Amino acid sequence: MNVVITPARRQIQSSYASLWAGSVGFLLLGLGNILATSGALTYPGRLSWLLQFAGPVLIAIAVTLHVDHLSFRIGRPAVLLIITGSYLLGVCVTPFVISPELWTNRAWSNVAQGLWALGLFCLSFGLAAIAVHKERQIERGIKQALDIGDNDPTNASVHASFLTLAAGSAGFLLYAVGYVQLLEVVGGTRWSWILQVAGCTLLAVAAISHLEHLTLHLGLPAVVLGVIGAITLAISSIPFVIDTANYTSSVFWAQSFWFVWGFGSACGAVSIFFVILRKRAMSSLY
């Protein structure tokens, strides 16, 4: 007789506070980008920059609220790098919250884009650190569960495959390198936009390669929206790969870039909202 074993659904460890902070953070980031469309070829208004500042900071707070479990699960170095990277993505726009017109100042825009790139590098190194942590777990037989008296070793393991972690880390790395090249030429080079498209595409590949586990743990709607968001961010830069002048001289394509980024971030917000609904539904079963 054949027996089919269906993997048990595991409870979502993230707290409601952490999930809400993450969802609202992505929503604010998305709204900030959408509002930026009105000043695509000049400079976005103060409210747009304020939302783009608050969004990543809330996302960093969301990770910080979950720091103890994450440190145990993926390693403290990885967590610190991810938190630092998220904060940098918000802090980089601080000058424009104070004075939006500084966006047109080459020096200040370079500072912001440089810090954004540094944040992406931190996220890349953070995923790489998770891969190192996973390797050590394998070598040690995943003994962390016993250290805290947890009778379920899977609670302490890194479920993401090395393919997922490598794709994610490489994705953030290529995206960061592409952004660094924006510092050299106003509007960027074709190569810089190609790297950004490739980076975001790899992030989507990372999510898709981990689809089965994520779907089981977080639910299909949340995962699908997350993947759509990653793919959307990759699409946002394609017009500038075709013609780099579209970034500085085409109102339509410049506005489209901000809007598509906003839509992709909003997908992330709704994705986490579905995770919150799933956590609430699962809580009623236990």
pTM score, whole prediction? 0.86
Per the CB < 8 A criterion, the answer to whether 267 and 229 are in contact is: yes
pLDDT in tens, the chain (286 residues): 444 444 455 677 778 888 899 999 999 999 999 999 988 888 899 999 999 999 999 999 998 888 877 887 888 899 999 999 999 999 999 999 999 999 999 899 999 999 999 999 999 999 999 998 888 877 676 554 455 455 455 545 677 788 889 999 999 999 999 988 888 877 788 899 999 999 989 988 888 887 777 777 777 788 888 888 888 888 888 999 998 888 888 889 989 999 999 998 999 899 889 888 888 887 766 5
State CA 234 to chain mean position distance: 13
What 3 state SS string does 131-158 have? HHHHHHHHHHCCCHHHHCCCCCHHHHCC
DSSP state of 101: G
> Using an 8 Å Cβ cutoff, are 28 and 54 in contact?
yes
Report the sign of the C-alpha dihedral through residues 217, 222, 228, 232, in that order.
negative
